[in-house]
Each structure stands twice: as C-alpha cells, then as structure tokens.
Amino acid sequence: MTTEHASALNTDPATAASGAQSPGRDTAGVEARRRRTFAVISHPDAGKSTLTEALALHARVISEAGAVHGKAGRKSTVSDWMEMEKARGISVSSTALQFNYDDCVINLVDTPGHSDFSEDTYRVLTAVDAAVMLIDAGKGLEPQTLKLFQVCRHRGIPVVTVINKWDRPGRSPLELLDEIEERIGLIPTPLYWPVGIAGDFRGLLDRSDGGFVRFTRTSGGATVAPEEHLDADAAAAREGDVWESAVEESELLSETGADHDQEMYLAGQTSPVIFASAMLNFGVRQILETLVTYAPPPHARDGVDGTPRHVTDPFSAVVFKVQAGMDTAHRDRLAFMRVVSGTFERGMVVTHAQTGRPFATKYALTVFGRDRNTVDDAYPGDIVGLVNANALAPGHTLYSDPRIEFAPIPSFAPEHFAMISARSAGKYKQFRKAIDQLDTEGVVQVLRNNARGDASPVMAAVGPMQFEVVTARMQSEFGVETVVNNLGYTVARETDKASAPGLDRQRGVEVFTRSDGVVLALFSDKWRLQYIEKENPDLTLRPLVAASD
C-alpha cells in the first residue's frame, strides 16, 4: 500500500472538503496527512531507547548510533539525557524527537519503560496517534507491556508490533505470535518474516513480494546495516533450508488469515509485525516504512463537551508533559504540547482554557533529545516545546477561537509516600521552588497539611524510583541536598473537606491536600481502609485511577 493510499483511508472528515476551505485550513490538512506521531512502549530493557536511536539513524538525522549500556566507546542515546538514565541504562523520562523520513514528518516519543513511571507514559499516550509495541524475542510479552497495551486499547491507539533482539537466542516466531493473540486478543499479521532462527538473524522475507532482504553487520551496529535485496530463487540458492523454512511458515500464516488488513489494524483488531534487531540496525528501515505507509495521520479529537476539533479547524493543542533541567545552560522549563488542529505560528497569542487568559508563544522549540531548535510553524501531530510556560501543566488546553477544552489527564493513585525536607535550613527558599517545579511537572504528587507544614511536604508516587529522580534533580538543578523519610502508608483515597475531620481522628489515617486542591486520605493498609469504610459509611472515600487500570 502506498503512503497516499494509507493516508486516504484515515483522512479527517473535515479535511476531505478541503476544496471549500481557506488556504490556511487547507495547509493544515495537507501537512497533517504528512505527520506520523507515535510512541514506543515496552517492558524495561526491551530496547526502546536503542530502537529510538536506530530509527533516527536510518532517517539520517544522526550519523552514528549508541546504546545506553553498550560497548565501551559508544555514545549515550540522544533520547536518554539525564545522568540517572545514563548510569542505570533505562529511560526514566519521556523525550520527543522530530525528523523527516521520505515525505513524512515523524514525531517520535520515547517513553519510560519502568513501571514506576507509568504515569509519564500514560501522559505520552494521550498525545500520539499510534504506538510501536516492542517485545523481547527471548522473553515475549511482559507485565509492563501488557499494561501499556491496555492503555492503547482503551484510547483506540493502533499498534505496530516489533519483536526485537532477533540476533540473540530466543523463542520461535510462531510461538511468540500465538502468545500475542492468546494473551491480549490482538491478531498479529507479520509484514516481514525472519530468515533464520532467533540468534541466527540473516534477514527478512518480505511477505508483500516474496523477496529476501539480507542484512550485513556493521562494527558495533553503530551505522546503518547494508541491505541486499534478492528474489526468491536467489534467496533459496543463498540460504537453502533456512529460506525454505521461512517460506513455509509465511505460507502457513497466509492460510490462517494472518495477512495485513488496514481497516482491522486501524480498528485495533490486528497488529502488523516486524522482526528486528535495534542493536544491529536490522529491520529498522522496515519499521519506518511500515509507520509511514500504515500508521494513521492526525485526526479529530473530541473536547470535554463532545465537540470534535478537526485538524483543519483553528489552532488547538494539548499539553502532555512539562520538563525542566534538559539543558544545564538554561534554567528554563519546557511545556510539551501536541498540536491537535490548525497551524501554530510562533508568537501567536492563544487562550489558556484552564484560566481563560491569553498566552503568548514567543519562545517555541522543536526538540531532538536535549537539542533544541526554534520552530516558526507547526501542524497537527507536531510536538512543540513552549519555554518558561509556568502557567501550563499536563492536560491543559491552548486554543484560538472558537473555544475548545480537551479532557484533563488523570493523576494515578499513588502507592508510595515519603516526607522530604532540605538538609540545610538555609536552603529552604530553593527547596520550596524546586518542590513546586517538580510538582507542576508531575514528577511526583506533592501533598501538604497543617501538621507537617511547607518545610516537610509529602511526596506521593506510583513507584519509589520517582523519589530518586526528585532527590537527584533537587541536587543537580537547585543545589539542594534533601532528607527523605518513607511513610507507612500504602493506600490513598479521594475525600472532601467535610469528611476530613472525621478521618483525621482515625488511627492509621492522615489527610492531605494535593496541589490541585484534591483532598486525599492516606491509609496504613487496605484492611484499615476497609474497617473505616465499614464503621463510617457517611465518610466520603472515592478510589483514584490506578496505574494498572
């Protein structure tokens, strides 16, 4: 299928009538059809950051790839820029990369893999049109991958599956496909089939034409792997039984109906599958080609009142992430927005839906890892960083008339709680500023009550590694050394001011106010919660959104 054909299948209804639109609206529609905005999701250590860099390498926006925990002499990945990420070899913060490939503009968001950062990944999935689900060939589907796939299914995000690390010993390809279908109900439809078992990756059988794409290793996988394209006869002569086995398995897939169907893919019923080795850069071009050809371009998004905002409507955008400290030379904060509709022009004055106030966009950037470049215009699907946007938080909406407000991004139910304070009283001012900034970014939720005061707020998090990020950033960005004491609470419930005094009198319970004004009651354990609910049915206690939902 051609790029134009795939795009035509997914054109925003308002764009179809472009002949009757103004030139500005037509430009937004044309540019939107060129955009592919997607996230890479997986369990930790499946190779997300390595794949992100390999995709950038194949798009020729970098000249040499690296791996976070690769061989000596290789560079750190462009998407992992925090010292903590480089040291641990994992992503703990989402990053956005934009580059061109063929006639398309790729907006790629690399997400944290560790379950402690599920909330950050969820925010990213509110800003993309498709996802690449990365699976380790040796481990198959893992818990975090399953959770993230469920988020994609809930949000109607179509998924391309990449079975990574085929250069290492692993499971059989048919076994992996069976697991995908049985455990998540997604029908896998391979576009390419591996030639050679896991650990003996010779190339890919292109199921669209029956040809063979043979790869050649490069030193350390640092450059694009050369490809040799052979027809079926030449492949059989070259690879013998290994090729014949691949052909037989591909024919078996066709007999069972495991061939790509665009409508079923967009409906979330099937998933195109590609086998690859991101470390060796095998199969990476095929991933890019698949995204360009089949992944949907930007489309209409409904506001909170159900009104659709089409890509050709006046400008609107949703903020999905706020991040500071990306560049030690700048003490600014970037609010990342996904353009939903219209054309963004740097310097335009728009409206902040949450406050109703005008918002100037003088300083706007596109980002590539830590690198930043001024952007003058952007279109639906693009990710733009707004500098020093102190009024913005994840879930906020910006728009040009007519008014639109998109649904807020929910905060997850925290399961870990710790009190934090500055080690030195002389650093209180910097401490307070740092806590407020990290709270606004959504790194942790910050809770306060009168008993503890502002000098010792409580951090609430989905996972304890979030606390490590806070302490590391407090030290590196603000020069504040902190003391963290874990608290003996494990369950949080939303309550209200009327119920707060009654809950505060209970043993094993403490009531706080979150920075967004939500009142939370913390309980020592679920049994304590159940007892209090039974004995005090008049008290308001509402569950929060769980990270596993």
- Tokens (6 digits) for 526: 């679920």
- Give the other-Cβ count within 10 Å of 133's Cβ: 25
Peptide bond preceding 297 in cis form (omega within 30 of 0): no
- Tokens (6 digits) for 114: 């560790």
Distance CA 420, CA 438 (A): 13
pLDDT of residue 15: 45
Does any domain span residue 407?
A: no
**Same domain assignment for residues 280 and 354:** no
Identify any residues that bridge with 228 across adjacent strands, giving them in sequence order: 214
> Which residues form the domain of 461?
416-535
pLDDT of residue 503: 96
Count of H-run helices and E-run strands, the chain: 15, 30
Does any domain span residue 543?
A: no
**Same domain assignment for residues 229 and 203:** yes
Does any domain span residue 263?
A: yes
**Same domain assignment for residues 390 and 294:** no
114 is in an annotated binding site: yes
**Same domain assignment for residues 371 and 511:** no
Residues whose CB falls within 8 Å of the CB of residue 117, separated by 6 or more in sequence, listed in order: 92, 93, 462, 463, 465, 466
**Same domain assignment for residues 229 and 124:** yes
Distances, alpha carbon 249 to alpha carbons 174, 228, 243, 286, 435, in Å: 8, 22, 10, 20, 56
261 is in an annotated binding site: no
Task: Using DSSP, state whether 104 is helix, strand or coil.
Answer: strand
State pTM to two decimals.
0.82
Residues whose CB falls within 8 Å of the CB of residue 247, separated by 6 or more in sequence, listed in order: 205, 210, 232
pLDDT of residue 47: 87
- For 138-176, what is each residue's pLDDT tens digit? 999 988 788 888 888 988 999 999 999 999 999 999 999
CB 181 within 8 A of CB 188: yes
Residues of the chain with pLDDT under 70: 1-24, 63, 65-95, 112-118, 324-332, 368-370, 546-549
pLDDT of residue 443: 86
Does any domain span residue 545?
A: no
**Same domain assignment for residues 114 and 256:** yes
Over 312-358, what HEC string results?
CCCCEEEEEEEEECCCCCCCCEEEEEEEEECCEECCCEEEECCCCEE
pLDDT of residue 465: 86
Total domains in the fold of the chain: 3
Sign of the torsion formed by the C-alpha atoms of 516, 519, 523 and 527: negative
pLDDT of residue 17: 41
343 is in an annotated binding site: no
Distance CA 184, CA 377 (A): 40
Does any domain span residue 29?
A: no
pLDDT of residue 245: 97
Task: Using DSSP, state whether 186 is helix, strand or coil.
Answer: coil
Angle at 512 between CA 507 and CA 517, to 5 degrees: 150
Which element (helix H / strand E) includes 294?
helix 284-294
**Same domain assignment for residues 391 and 493:** no
Q: Which of 380, 161, 182 is nearest to 276 (CA)?
A: 161
The DSSP line for 506-543 is STTEEEEEETTS-EEEEESSHHHHHHHHHH-TTS--BP
Please report, for the domain that includes residue 114, its CATH number.
3.40.50.300
pLDDT of residue 328: 55
pLDDT of residue 29: 93
112 is in an annotated binding site: yes
111 is in an annotated binding site: yes
